[in-house]
Structure 1
Amino acid sequence: MTPTRPRTVADVMLSTPKTHGPDATAGDLRALFRDDHVHVALVVDAGRLLAVVDRDDVCTAPDDTPAAACGAGAERSVTPGEDVEVLRRRMREQGSRRYAVVDEDGMLLGLLCLKRSGRGFCSDADVADRAAERRCAG
């Protein structure tokens, strides 16, 4: 019997997360966060991650503040080869549920999204289903 390899971030990450350009402002992201389903904003420039921004990061910033200046980068990002079970434990201990997934050059590859239950990770299919439900309800 062949031993199974640990699942990695690449196995479970969202492969096409929504992104925002370098011109996004704190005001733009505050408007985005009015949607309860949006938890973080990924600010990128030419595919390179500039910042991962959450609601708390922009709540007191003036509207015209560059969004990238409000968020964090390295401490909110992981690489695709990391063991996902190790990260799941760390995320639960820290109370965090989102990490940007970047390559060694800082290029955005995806988003690791821990489900609210903490038992699994959001999938591209989950996101597509939720978007379809919103279109039907709207």
Structure 2
Amino acid sequence: MKIRDQMTRDVVTVTPQTPLGEARSLLEEGHLRCLPVVTAGRLTGLVLQSDPRVSAAPPHTPVQDVMAPATATVGPQSRIERAARLMLQHDIRGLPVVDQDGMLLGVLTASDLLRAMVHSPREHLVLSLDAAARAVGPRFRLFLGGGPQSATLMRRYSAWVRHHTP
């Protein structure tokens, strides 16, 4: 399943010159965690709700003074499993979707991934769950206690995935 089929296309954005007070209002009113910063359609950074600089800076501060770099992005042709791995690896809940020139096409959120899994055919769900389990394997084992039971469960899960994957 491709990202282009699951991403959110209607994205609220700001420019580097947007006053921070306006960006904060957009985050709050839209119940957003992140605002892409664009210049002529090209992604230049992100305003993150969780960034202490965003809450501490005066409202008239230009967004460019507090924006964070977009450390992880995906292309529209990428598979959603890749996006899931990146989100887990970077501990983020959304990814900007950009073309080869850096133009912002949309965002893929954790909600978009869950929606894709719920509405996808069973084999896509199995492959997606398998990719996620491999990406978080060590965390999963730690959650289970890391003992012999977790190893047994991981072996059973892997066998189940092999058996149920076309």
Could you say whether these structures have the same fold, taking a TM-score greater than 0.5 normalized by the shorter chain as the test?
yes
Q: Is the 8 A contact 2:87 2:95 kept in 1?
A: no
Q: In the aligned structure 2, how far is the partner of 1:109 from the partner of 1:103?
A: 7
Following superposition, the deviation at residue 93 of structure 1 comes to: 4.7
Aligned match for 1:97, one of 93, 101, 106: 93
Q: Is the 8 A contact 1:49 1:73 kept in 2?
A: no
Q: In the aligned structure 2, how far is the partner of 1:94 from the partner of 1:76?
A: 8
| Distance change >3 Å, CA 113–CA 45, structure 1 → 2 | same
Cα deviations by residue, 1:61-115 (Å, 9 ceiling, x for unpaired):
2323221332233414222222211221331354311111111211111111111
Letter in 2 for 1:102: V
Q: Is the 8 A contact 1:98 1:113 kept in 2?
A: yes
Q: Is the 8 A contact 2:83 2:95 kept in 1?
A: no
Q: Is the 8 A contact 1:24 1:43 kept in 2?
A: no
The TM-score, its normalising length taken from structure 1, stands at 0.69
| Distance change >3 Å, CA 55–CA 107, structure 1 → 2 | same
Runs of 4+ in 1 over 4 A off after TM superposition: none
Aligned match for 2:41, one of 47, 50, 71: 47
Identity of aligned residues (%): 34
The TM-score, its normalising length taken from structure 2, stands at 0.58
SS in 2 for 1:119: helix
Q: Number of matched residues? A: 114
Q: In the aligned structure 1, how far is the partner of 2:114 from the partner of 2:17?
A: 36
> Where does residue 26 of structure 2 map in the other structure?
32
Which structure features the higher share of strand residues? 1
Return the structure number with greater relative CO, CA threshold 8 A, min gap 6.
Answer: 1
Aligned match for 1:120, one of 115, 118, 134: 115
Letter in 2 for 1:34: E
Larger Rg: 2
> Where does residue 135 of structure 1 map in the other structure?
none
Q: Is the 8 A contact 1:52 1:100 kept in 2?
A: no
> Where does residue 108 of structure 1 map in the other structure?
104
Which structure features the higher share of helix residues? 2
Q: In the aligned structure 2, how far is the partner of 1:79 from the partner of 1:69?
A: 27
